[in-house]
Structure 1
Amino acid sequence: MSKQKITGKAFVLGRNIDTDQIIPAEHLVYSLDDPEERKFYGRHALSGVPDEQSGLPEGGIPLVEEDAFESEFSIIVGGPNFGCGSSREHAPASLDIAGVEAIIAPTFARIFYRNSVDGGFVIPYESLENLSKEVETGDELEIDPEKQTVTNTTQNKSYKIRPLGSVADIVNAGGIFEFARKEGMIDVKN
């Protein structure tokens, strides 16, 4: 189980948010290895989400303000099938670079879920109900993995989330390669 509580502002999205909406293909021109280029993935995170899926009124606020590289929102609350579409690992990476720590959704596309965990990008928590219908953008949330709850401190309501199970060890290590090194599955050379 991931041990740390995560607190922060929620950014609410609808159902079927796909990887092309999370990071549109025209922004896949930056190097993830170059710190000066990498930050542009944060700037463009969720820039392809249409207004009708954003959970916000038309012309609503973006995840990352214009000319910024990081967001004031650290928790995304999505509808079912979050991360569907192509298998690009740039999608969870862009959210991580933007400052998102966790995503809460009732279901995730399998490849997005694995890319999030394996890359150590963002923690995907599965909710027992569709919280995108309960939470509003800007609400303050607290995720407590130990109690398996997410509390909306703005609305004073709590909801259950599924335990991370065996992926918690990978999340806590910082990704699949760090986990493998820690477990002695990969030789660590001095």
Structure 2
Amino acid sequence: MNEKIEGKVWKFGDNVDTDVIIPGRYLRTFSLDDLAAHVMEGVDPDFSGNVQKGDIIVADWNFGCGSSREQAPVAIKHAGVSAIVAKSFARIFYRNAINIGLPVIVADINAEKGDILKIDMEKGIIENQSTNETFKIEPFKKFMLDILKDGGLVNHYLKLKEE
């Protein structure tokens, strides 16, 4: 994970729950590829076939609500999404995402599907390259950036243990 992220926007609305992020019928697999092949299927059946490494999800309110399934952020990250920007997140989804090294950013920004965003998490800036708009966000604290840079909480802990 880099403090600077650039990618194409995938736009979603309010209350995108974990059941549409990764439908329950796919939770019996331990294959990350299988999970990623069905990610966001409940709201955009074409998402998994078209998402590119580095793309960014932009959503409205309450992203990741519903059950606390850890597979939801895992499937999103494994599909290649580099960050999620939303007006708000379900608390457990937010924590699960950080724990696996997937940046989740609380912000109300103007972006549409296909726009190109540049995110600087250290400085607290999101630039929409397609509309030439800049949005200020709360900069990430160093310890959060370190967790994300290390690929999640477990990797971060193991790195600290070695030091």
* Structure 1: 5+ residue stretches without partners: 32-36, 55-60
Query: 2:89 is matched by which residue type in structure 1?
Result: F
For residues 47-126 of structure 1, the aligned pairs below 5 Å read 47-49=41-43, 62-65=46-49, 71-72=51-52, 74-120=55-101, 122-126=102-106
The structure having more radius of gyration, on CA atoms, is: 1
Matched, 1:135 2:140: no
Q: Distance in 1 between matches of 2:140 and 2:69?
A: 22
* Alignment match, 1:171: 148
Q: Distance in 1 between matches of 2:134 and 2:82?
A: 19
What's the TM-score once normalised by structure 2's chain length? 0.90
Q: Percent identity?
A: 39
Q: CA deviation at 1:63?
A: 1.7
Q: CA RMSD in A?
A: 2.0
- Matched residue count: 161
For residues 3-18 of structure 1, the aligned pairs below 5 Å read 4-18=3-17
Map Cα deviations across residues 143-182 of structure 1 (whole Å, 9 max, x no partner).
1112211111011111112222242221122111111112
Q: Which consecutive segments of 4 or more residues in structure 1 shift more than 4 A? A: none
Partner of residue 35 from structure 2, selected from 37, 41, 58: 41
More helix by share: 2
Say which SS state the counterpart of residue 64 (structure 1) adopts. Answer: helix
Q: CA deviation at 1:38?
A: 2.0
- Does the aligned pair in 1 maintain the 2:22–2:35 contact within 8 Å? yes
- Does the aligned pair in 2 maintain the 1:3–1:146 contact within 8 Å? no
Query: 2:115 is matched by which residue type in structure 1?
Result: D
Q: CA deviation at 1:92?
A: 0.2
Q: CA deviation at 1:3?
A: 5.1
- Does the aligned pair in 1 maintain the 2:11–2:59 contact within 8 Å? yes
Map Cα deviations across residues 82-134 of structure 1 (whole Å, 9 max, x no partner).
111111110000001110010001211110011111122x210111x2x2xx2
What's the TM-score once normalised by structure 1's chain length? 0.78
